[in-house]
A = this chain, B = another copy of it.
Amino acid sequence: MAAYKFDVLGLGNAIVDVIAPVDEDFLIAARLRKGGMQLVDEAQAEALYDAMGATTIVSGGSAANTIAGVASFGGRGAFVGKVRADEAGHAFAHDIKAAGVHFATPATPAGPATARCLILVTPDGQRTMNTFLGACQNLTCEDIDGADVAASKILYLEGYLWDPPEAKKAFVEAARIAHDAGREVALTLSDLFCVDRHQQEFLSLIRDGVVDILFANESELHALYQTADFDVALAALRQENILAAVTRSEKGAIIVKGAETHVVPAAPIEKLVDTTGAGDLFAAGFLTGYTRNEPLGRCARLGALAASEIIQHFGARPEIRLARLAEQSDYLHAL
């Protein structure tokens, strides 16, 4: 049996989240597409920041959030992502290490600032994200530690990596190393607009065997298969030779693997505050169960449980130990 160093190694954009509540009118006035992630340049980011109210700053980044979640469940996680040696980069590195995650990607000494995601949260808990990629554009193949990738059960990649051109190459290289070592590769489609930008390439990744496990929400799935019909999209997904987890917000999640299907309800919550990180934490819970060889239905419930924690507060990193939450969860034990 192989000696694994990490359960999940994540590769993604290293981002600091800058969060403020806004009303719906703010989104309309700023012409922002509610619920999605838009890329912005530094000047746009500054202008939007100036218009935002007082903010709360916490570490974010989709795959980074997922790996922090894996660690919170007690798993061994590693993250690869690029920050600059600035205050935000220092905070990002501190927070992911404080979460118990191995993080050794060197910060760039100069160039664009550490990436920021300006997150506007409306009263319905929906988040609209505006990302300045900054230093993430400096992630290259050089940053991939092949031995670490080969020693991880799962390589987890975020679709957002398809935005910075050099990061895309690192993504492909890491996947090659993982497969050469007999590991599995997971991909999250990240975002509806991200799928819009890279639809054909994402389909190729799936069909060329680069991806073994896929995470998507409903709108991402619709964008991937260019259909407004969920059942049509799900049928198309079944044709791919992969394991796929589709999250459906308050409707729970569906796991498909060929003809096999597992449907789980959403975990109950008291109050929806901020949906940021729901998908990231679903992936954390699912992969935690998966790397422990749990049944797929239980993997999905672990995902839904982690998502339920993250959407009840601002920020996309768990505020409590997910391992403890899992121990005490009626939802999980209802299985």
Chain A positions near chain B (C-beta within 8 angstroms): 20-21, 49-50, 52-59, 68, 86-88, 91, 94-96, 98-99, 315, 317, 319
CB <8 Å contact, A317 and B91: no
Q: A95 is contacted by which of B21, B54, B87 (Cβ under 8 Å)?
A: B54
CB <8 Å contact, B98 and A56: no
CB <8 Å contact, B56 and A94: no
CB <8 Å contact, A55 and B95: yes
28 contacts between A and B (CB under 8 A): A20-B98, A21-B319, A49-B94, A52-B94, A52-B98, A53-B98, A53-B99, A54-B58, A54-B59, A54-B68, A54-B95, A54-B96, A54-B99, A54-B317, A55-B58, A55-B91, A55-B94, A55-B95, A56-B56, A56-B57, A56-B58, A56-B315, A57-B57, A57-B58, A57-B91, A86-B87, A87-B87, A87-B88
Hey, which chain B residues are within 8 Å of A20, CB to CB?
Answer: 98
A3 → B minimal CB distance (Å):
29
A54 to B86: give the CA distance in the assembly, Å.
17
Hey, which chain B residues are within 8 Å of A52, CB to CB?
Answer: 94, 98
A52 to B53: give the CA distance in the assembly, Å.
27
A55 to B58: give the CA distance in the assembly, Å.
7
Hey, which chain B residues are within 8 Å of A317, CB to CB?
Answer: 54
A96 to B55: give the CA distance in the assembly, Å.
10
5 other A-B residue contacts (CB within 8 Å) besides A54-B95, A54-B96:
A50-B94, A52-B94, A54-B99, A55-B95, A86-B87
Max chain B C-beta neighbours (<10 A), residue from A58, A99, A315, A317: A58
A279 to B52: give the CA distance in the assembly, Å.
27
A58 to B20: give the CA distance in the assembly, Å.
11
8 closest residue pairs by CB, A with B: A54-B95, A57-B57, A87-B87, A54-B98, A53-B98, A56-B58, A54-B99, A54-B317
A259 to B55: give the CA distance in the assembly, Å.
44
A272 to B156: give the CA distance in the assembly, Å.
38
Hey, which chain B residues are within 8 Å of A59, CB to CB?
Answer: 54
Max chain B C-beta neighbours (<10 A), residue from A54, A86, A91, A317: A54
A56 to B99: give the CA distance in the assembly, Å.
13
A49 to B49: give the CA distance in the assembly, Å.
26
Instruction: Give the nearest-CB partner of A89 in chain B.
Output: B87
A283 to B153: give the CA distance in the assembly, Å.
55
A323 → B minimal CB distance (Å):
15
